[in-house]
Amino acid sequence: MATVATAQTGKHKISSENVNKNYSITIHGVVKDSLKPDIRRLQLSVYEVFSLTNVFTNSIKYEYDTVNNSFEKKLAIPSKISHLTINYTNAKTIFPSYNYMKNYIVEDGDDLQCTFYTDSVVFSGKGSDKMNLQSKLFYLGSKYFYTIPEIANRGDDFYFENNISLFDRNYKSQIDLLQTYQGHISKDFYDYLHNQCLGWRNFAILSLICNSYKLDSTFNSRAVAFYKSRLQGMDTNYPEQAHLSPIFTDYIYRKEKLDFEINNFRKNTINKTGAPRFLAYLSNKYKGGLRERLLVIGLSDLPNEYSDAYCFLEEPVLFEENSSYFNVFNSIKKSLSIKVDAFPFSLPDSTGKIIKLTDYRGKVVVVDFWFTGCGACLVLAKKMGPIIESFKGRDVVFVTINVDKVKRYWVGSLKEGKYTHKGNVNLYTDGLGEQHPILSHYNVTAYPKLLIIDKSGRILSAEPPRPLDSDSHSTKNFINLIESGL
């Protein structure tokens, strides 16, 4: 039995309820472009809980390499009301027509007629009213980014003001549209969409500040000064039910994290410490479902930058067993635990030979998860070269695991040699991509992802510090972790 958050139009309300039934939606697709089916790609992903910080609960992905001119798909969904993302790509679109920001609410029993164009989709059939309204809000949320020349000259004294004015115009357009639906949709669904629109606006503003905060020290100082003078007082005192709006909750988390880091660190780096203190702050400030969702986001996000995030996992009674987020918390806890048996992988290398974890019993195994096109993966690969060379001839194996869905992309990247090294054992998830069980076992939500397995096949470190420069503190700690297993 699972506890789910629900949102819907009509007489239904956004609420929490326990369900133990099987739910599904049906999508009848018609593709309106002139391209051949074998170069079309369609990914439909459904989630019980969705977050821009890569926190997903009970996710199911349906991926199709060939999309005919018409098709019908019946999709199991994890809860009565679920989140749906649509990624449709073809040879003429560099980016998906529908990306992860476009997160739809769908309901059990929806029977949707979907007409796919090169850069849009139109819905009809049962449940289409709420889908088309959400599509319009998505469009208005990004409208001015494509119709106004970029003002992103960071030397401009009004760089932040000019960009934020675009976010405000998008938000106003969304709210103006939404207000025309008052009385035609339920108050709960109206409030949900209103919170989503406000969340998009505020999340975009904080993303602008956060991305600027990571740049050179001069621009970093400008970003911090602007934030403190104009934005730090942005209200985060919201009702507990706010956790039902995923983008809105993401905004609250991002703001709290930015406040914490500005107050505690002079510059933005990875391998920081202080995660337990930040998580304790969230735990004490917020209540109910909002508190639990913020903790789940933090426990999934912070290990990417903080070396001590796992320490908070041992705090007593973080989540009640009947909590909506109890299962996802246990999944995160399992993925960060040490001295437990590692996932017994059995994966093909580039020649098709099956490589098993047990093949390396008696050796320390360093695993690196990556995908083609990942910029951070390229950076890590460059830093790993000298480390791999330094352990040459010792009982250490460096394994890369690629999650590309298309094998030729992986093979091409291996030939380029930018993501891997001659000393690597290079393995492939055999076309399963992020649906492979090893990804869910380790709760891999961001790349690159490193872990270290000891000689007996147990986890030595689920979140080792990521190597930076050859003489950096994090690189030395990473090497010391490997040495500790020898």
Please report which helix (H) or strand (E) contains residue 256, including its range. helix 246-264
Residues whose CB falls within 8 Å of the CB of residue 408, separated by 6 or more in sequence, listed in order: none
Concatenating the DSSP letter of every residue in 432-482 gives -GGGSHHHHHTT--SSSEEEEE-TTSBEEESSPPPP-STTSHHHHHHHHHH
Distance CA 357, CA 343 (A): 8
Query: What is the structure's pLDDT at 331?
Result: 72
Say if residue 109 is in the same domain as residue 233.
Answer: no
pLDDT at residue 360, as a whole number: 95
Q: Does residue 395 fall inside a structural domain? A: yes
> Is residue 341 a part of any domain in this protein?
no
Give the pLDDT score at 384: 93
Strands annotated E in 157-239: none
Whose structure tokens read 């309300």?
Answer: 13
Asked whether residue 165 falls in the same domain as residue 303, the answer is yes
Please tell me the distance from the alpha carbon of residue 382 to that of residue 314, in angstroms, as a whole number: 35
The CATH number of the domain holding residue 115 is 2.60.40
Q: At which of 108, 126, 144 does a domain end?
A: 126
- Pairwise CA distance, residues 284 & 450, whole Å: 31
Same domain, 354 and 294: no
Same domain, 58 and 205: no
Cis check for the bond before 96: say yes or no (omega within 30 of 0): no
> Exposed, middle or buried by CB within 10 Å (0-12, 13-18, 19+), for 95?
exposed
The answer on 317 and 173 residing in a single domain is: yes
The first and second tokens of residue 89, run together, are 């790509």
* pLDDT recorded at residue 351: 92
User: Which residues span the domain enclosing 78?
Assistant: 2-126
Whether the CB-CB separation of 402 and 433 falls below 8 Å is answered with: no
The predicted pLDDT at position 11 comes to: 26
> Is 151 among the domain residues?
yes
**Count: domains in the chain:** 3
Does residue 295 sit in the same domain as residue 355?
Answer: no
Whether residues 143 and 75 fall in one domain? no
H helix and E strand count, the chain: 12, 17
Asked if the structure places residue 385 within a domain, the reply is: yes
Q: Are residues 322 and 456 in the same domain?
A: no
CATH number where 369 lies? 3.40.30.10
Q: Does 8 reside within a domain?
A: yes
Q: Which residues contact 170 (CB under 8 A, 6 or more apart)?
A: 140, 141, 142, 143, 144, 145, 200, 201
| Residue type, position 77, single letter | I
Domain match, 270 and 141 both:
yes
Q: Is residue 28 part of a domain?
A: yes
Q: Which helix (H) or strand (E) segment is 402 a member of?
A: strand 396-402
CB neighbour list of residue 320: distance below 8 Å, 6 or more residues apart: 326
Provide the residue-wise pLDDT of the chain in tens; the chain has 486 residues: 222 232 222 222 223 333 335 899 999 988 887 666 666 777 788 888 778 776 666 677 776 665 677 888 888 888 888 889 887 765 444 334 444 457 899 999 999 999 887 777 899 999 999 999 999 998 888 765 543 334 445 556 677 888 888 888 999 999 999 999 998 888 888 888 998 898 888 888 888 887 776 655 666 777 888 888 777 766 656 766 677 788 888 889 989 998 898 888 766 565 678 888 999 999 998 888 888 889 888 887 887 778 777 777 766 667 777 776 777 777 777 766 777 889 999 999 999 999 999 999 999 999 999 999 888 899 899 999 999 999 999 999 999 999 998 899 999 999 999 999 988 999 999 888 877 889 878 878 778 999 999 999 999 988 888 887 655 677 888 898 899 999
Tell me the C-alpha distance between 188 and 179, whole Å.
14
271 with 466: CB under 8 angstroms? Answer: yes
- The dihedrals phi and psi of 320, each to the nearest 5 degrees, come to -75, 155
245 within domain boundaries: yes
Q: Which of 122, 105, 120 is nearest to 28 (CA)?
A: 122
Residue 177 lies in a domain: yes
Residue type, 312: F
Burial class of residue 25, CB neighbours in 10 A (0-12, 13-18, 19+): buried
| Domain-terminating residue out of 96, 126, 156 | 126
99/193 same-domain check = no
Same domain, 113 and 162: no
Tell whether 101 and 240 lie within a shared domain: no
Give pLDDT, residue 219.
Answer: 67
Q: Where are the alpha helices (DSSP H) in 72-186?
A: 128-147, 159-179
Q: Which of 126, 154, 172 delimits the end of a domain?
A: 126
Contact 337, 462 (CB under 8 A): yes
What 3-state DSSP class applies to 63? strand
pLDDT of residue 400: 96
pTM above 0.85, yes or no: no
